Structure 1
Amino acid sequence: MDYNKLSKDILQQVGGEENVDNVIHCMTRLRFNLKDNSKANRPQIEALEGVMGTNISGSQFQIIIGNDVPKVYKGIIDNSKLSGEKTSGGSSGQKKNPISAVFDVISGVFTPILPAIAGAGMIKGILAILVALGWLSNTSQTYIILTAVGDGAFYFLPIILAVSAARKFGSNMFVAAAIGAAILHPDLTALFTAGEPISFIGLPVTIATYSSTVIPILLAIWIASYVERWIDKVTHASLKLIVVPSVTLLVVVPVTLITVGPLGAILGEYLSGGINFLFDNAGLFAMILLAGSFSLIIMTGMHYALVPIMINNVTVNGFDYLMPAMFLANMGQAGAAFAVAMKTKNKKFKSLSYSVSVTGLMGVTEPAMYGVNVRLKKPFIAALIGGAVGGAYLGITKVAAYIMGGSAGIPGVTSFIGPGLNFVNALIGMAIAFVAAAVAAYLIGFEDVPAENSEEQTQDAEAEAAATKEASIVSEQILSPIVGKAVSLSEVNDPTFAQEIMGKGIAIIPEKGEVLSPVNGVITTLFKTKHAIGITSDKGAEILIHVGLDTVQLDGEHFTAHMKEGDAVKVGDKITSFDIDALKKAGFDTITPVVITNTMEYKDVTPLKSGQTSSNDAVLDLTVV
Structure 2
Amino acid sequence: MKNETSKYKKIADQLINIVGKDNIESITHCVTRLRIVVKNRNAIDDDAIQDVDEVKGVFYTGGQYQIILGTGIVNKVFDQVSGVNKDGTEDSKNEETTNTGGSWIDKLKRGIRILSDVFLPIVPILGATGLFLGLKGVMYNPIVLSWIGMTPKMIPNSVTTLLTVLTGTAFNFLPAFICWSAFKKFGGTPVIGFLIGLMLVSPSLPNAYDVASGAIKPIMLFNIIPIEGYQGSVLTALFTGIIGAKLEKRLRRVMPNSMDLIFTPFVVVLVMLTLAFLGFGPIVHLIEQGLVHAIRAFLYLPFGIGGFLIGVLYPLCVMTGLHQMSIVVETSLLAATHFNPMITVEAMYGFANAAVCLALALHSRKASQRSAGISATATQILGVSEPALFGVVLRAGLPALLVMVLCSGLGGGILSLLHIQANSYGLAVALSPLMYIYSAHQLIVYVLVGIGTFIVAFLATNTFAIPKDDRQRSIHEEDKPSMTINDNQIGTTALFAPVVGKVISLNETNDPVFSQKLMGDGFAVEPTNDEIMSPVSGKITMIAETKHAVGITTKSGLEILVHMGIDTVSLKGKPFDIKVKVGDSVHIGQKIAKMNVKEVKADGKDATVMVVMTNMNDVVSDWKLEAINLDEKDYPEIGIATMNGQ
Give the structure-1-normalised TM-score: 0.71
Deviates more, 1:423-432 or 1:5-14: 5-14
**How do 1:316-335 residues align onto structure 2 when only pairs under 5 Å count?**
316-335=336-355
Contact 2:300 2:416 in 1 (8 A): no
In the alignment, what sits opposite 2:137?
128
* 1:87 corresponds to which of 86, 90, 94: 90
Tell me the distance in 1 between the aligned counterparts of 2:331 and 2:109: 21
Question: How has the CA–CA distance of structure 1 residues 343 and 307 changed in structure 2, closer, same or farther, with 3 Å as cutoff?
Answer: same
Question: How has the CA–CA distance of structure 1 residues 23 and 472 changed in structure 2, closer, same or farther, with 3 Å as cutoff?
Answer: same
In the alignment, what sits opposite 2:396?
376
The structural deviation recorded for 1:12 is 5.1
Secondary structure at 2:348's aligned position in 1?
A: helix
**Residues 38-97 of structure 1 deviation map (CA, whole Å, 9 limit, x = unaligned):** 52227733663136232333xx51414132783586268445244434222622162474
The structural deviation recorded for 1:270 is 0.6
Q: Is 1:390 aligned with 2:396?
A: no
| Aligned residue identity for 1:357 | T
Contact 2:343 2:422 in 1 (8 A): no
**How do 1:55-454 residues align onto structure 2 when only pairs under 5 Å count?**
55-57=60-62, 61-67=64-70, 70=73, 74=77, 77-88=80-91, 90=93, 91-92=96-97, 94-95=100-101, 97=104, 99-100=108-109, 102-132=111-141, 133-134=144-145, 139-140=155-156, 141-189=158-206, 195=216, 198=219, 202=222, 204-377=224-397, 378-396=399-417, 398-417=418-437, 421-447=441-467
Contact 1:137 1:143 in 2 (8 A): no
Secondary structure at 1:55's aligned position in 2?
A: strand
Tell me the distance in 2 between the aligned counterparts of 1:181 and 1:392: 39
In the alignment, what sits opposite 1:544?
538
Question: How has the CA–CA distance of structure 1 residues 469 and 101 changed in structure 2, closer, same or farther, with 3 Å as cutoff?
Answer: closer
Tell me the distance in 1 between the aligned counterparts of 2:260 and 2:328: 34
Question: How has the CA–CA distance of structure 1 residues 89 and 400 changed in structure 2, closer, same or farther, with 3 Å as cutoff?
Answer: closer
| Aligned residue identity for 1:108 | D
In the alignment, what sits opposite 1:28?
32
Contact 2:396 2:467 in 1 (8 A): yes
Question: How has the CA–CA distance of structure 1 residues 301 and 239 changed in structure 2, closer, same or farther, with 3 Å as cutoff?
Answer: same
The structural deviation recorded for 1:286 is 1.4
Tell me the distance in 2 between the aligned counterparts of 1:131 and 1:406: 24
Secondary structure at 1:546's aligned position in 2?
A: strand
Q: Is 1:464 aligned with 2:464?
A: no
Tell me the distance in 2 between the aligned counterparts of 1:594 and 1:45: 22
Tell me the distance in 2 between the aligned counterparts of 1:319 and 1:596: 54
Secondary structure at 1:206's aligned position in 2?
A: strand
Question: How has the CA–CA distance of structure 1 residues 131 and 369 changed in structure 2, closer, same or farther, with 3 Å as cutoff?
Answer: farther
Contact 1:163 1:173 in 2 (8 A): yes
Contact 1:530 1:576 in 2 (8 A): no
Number of residue-to-residue matches in the alignment: 530
Tell me the distance in 1 between the aligned counterparts of 2:563 and 2:77: 43
| Aligned residue identity for 2:540 | H
Question: How has the CA–CA distance of structure 1 residues 546 and 144 changed in structure 2, closer, same or farther, with 3 Å as cutoff?
Answer: farther
Question: How has the CA–CA distance of structure 1 residues 289 and 150 changed in structure 2, closer, same or farther, with 3 Å as cutoff?
Answer: same
**Residues 221-273 of structure 1 deviation map (CA, whole Å, 9 limit, x = unaligned):** 12212322332233111110000001111111122112333222212211111
Contact 1:124 1:147 in 2 (8 A): no
Tell me the distance in 2 between the aligned counterparts of 1:99 and 1:587: 37
Contact 1:340 1:353 in 2 (8 A): yes
Question: How has the CA–CA distance of structure 1 residues 38 and 431 changed in structure 2, closer, same or farther, with 3 Å as cutoff?
Answer: same
Question: How has the CA–CA distance of structure 1 residues 69 and 7 changed in structure 2, closer, same or farther, with 3 Å as cutoff?
Answer: farther
The structural deviation recorded for 1:548 is 6.5
| Aligned residue identity for 1:105 | I
The structural deviation recorded for 1:274 is 0.8
Please list every run of 5 or more consecutive structure 2 residues that lacks an aligned counterpart in the other structure: 1-5, 491-512, 588-613, 619-646
Question: How has the CA–CA distance of structure 1 residues 77 and 545 changed in structure 2, closer, same or farther, with 3 Å as cutoff?
Answer: same
Tell me the distance in 1 between the aligned counterparts of 2:586 and 2:119: 55
The structural deviation recorded for 1:332 is 0.7
Identical amino acids, percent of aligned pairs: 18
Secondary structure at 2:278's aligned position in 1?
A: helix
Contact 1:157 1:211 in 2 (8 A): yes
Tell me the distance in 1 between the aligned counterparts of 2:269 and 2:560: 83
Tell me the distance in 2 between the aligned counterparts of 1:595 and 1:406: 43
| Aligned residue identity for 1:166 | F
Secondary structure at 2:49's aligned position in 1?
A: coil
Question: How has the CA–CA distance of structure 1 residues 376 and 234 changed in structure 2, closer, same or farther, with 3 Å as cutoff?
Answer: same
Q: Is 1:558 aligned with 2:548?
A: yes
The structural deviation recorded for 1:18 is 4.4
Secondary structure at 2:89's aligned position in 1?
A: coil
Tell me the distance in 1 between the aligned counterparts of 2:270 and 2:45: 51
Question: How has the CA–CA distance of structure 1 residues 21 and 159 changed in structure 2, closer, same or farther, with 3 Å as cutoff?
Answer: farther
Tell me the distance in 2 between the aligned counterparts of 1:596 and 1:572: 14
Tell me the distance in 1 between the aligned counterparts of 2:482 and 2:463: 27
**Residues 294-348 of structure 1 deviation map (CA, whole Å, 9 limit, x = unaligned):** 1111223332312232232233234443222111111111111221232224334
Tell me the distance in 2 between the aligned counterparts of 1:95 and 1:161: 28
| Aligned residue identity for 1:443 | T
Give the structure-2-normalised TM-score: 0.69
